[in-house]
Chains A and B, each alone.
Chain A
């Protein structure tokens, strides 16, 4: 399997992401933001974490208009898989490939720590290797991870099993670090081929890093 990893000026997780997928046996290619096409052999496009274009206007806003994003849209619309991690999640909401928006964390702090997540839905490739209710330990590192969607949009997302992950404590009880609506940490689109989450599974690939729970997550996409 071949994974394309999008690199904007300011992306800083592209090599961690590359390491993670190569560890799982994928071949990878870094895709520069000015590219206008995704090579045909790439099955999964990952928009890695970081601070695309400095996030100067809003997180992910300028990146969402980069030339490569037209190609990413076409890739998604053809039914192929896209994963956005952290800044990548912000880019995907700004592109409207995913619903909602990401606001500044409620307490305005940059949060960088390990956090637990609860699997809400497993009717998708990304979390297919988990049971509903499973608790995983995946690091978070963000300033704008406060997911927002209006009540009607939220209802629709639950009805379509688009809500994938809730922030929780180690016992699976809701524990919301950033003010996200319903403590949401990750979602997908209706068609279940575009995924976005604020936590960093690529930073949880080895026990020596504090957790290897990212392995099972990324494996689901392979």
Chain B
């Protein structure tokens, strides 16, 4: 089982990296870009028995270590 975790800064928390990338794209004349958010992706292989238990386990990992919930949101995708 594979878990894909996407972690990004919460809406309303200024994303300086996203802003810098947005600016750089603009200077390359990619003028169609409205907003850029830069996050972190963590991919892990798990020995879970089903997707529900995998999701629960990964949620705990996010809450305890992988994300800083003061400033970050996370999304979890489990692929069987």
Q: Which positions in A face B, CB cutoff 8 Å?
A: 57-58, 61-62, 65, 93-94, 100-101, 103-108, 146, 148-149, 179
Q: By the criterion of a CB under 8 Å from any partner CB, how many residues of chain B are at the interface?
A: 12
Q: Which positions in B face A, CB cutoff 8 Å?
A: 9, 13-14, 16-17, 20, 64-66, 68, 70-71
Interchain CB contact under 8 A, B70 and A101: yes
Distance in Å: Cβ of A92 to nearest Cβ of chain B: 13
Interface-central residue, B17, B65, B70, by most chain A CB under 10 Å: B70
Using CB atoms, name the residue of chain A closest to B69: A101
Distance in Å: Cβ of B28 to nearest Cβ of chain A: 18
A111 CA to B20 CA, complexed, in Å: 17
A75 CA to B15 CA, complexed, in Å: 35
Interchain CB contact under 8 A, A94 and B16: no
Interchain CB contact under 8 A, B68 and A108: no
| B13 proximity list for chain A (CB < 8 A) | 103, 148
Distance in Å: Cβ of A59 to nearest Cβ of chain B: 10
Interchain CB contact under 8 A, A61 and B65: yes
Using CB atoms, name the residue of chain B closest to A65: B65
Distance in Å: Cβ of B72 to nearest Cβ of chain A: 8
Interchain CB contact under 8 A, A58 and B68: yes
| A106 proximity list for chain B (CB < 8 A) | 14, 16
Contacts A57-B65, A61-B65, A65-B65: A100 and B70 contacting too (C-beta < 8 A)?
Answer: yes
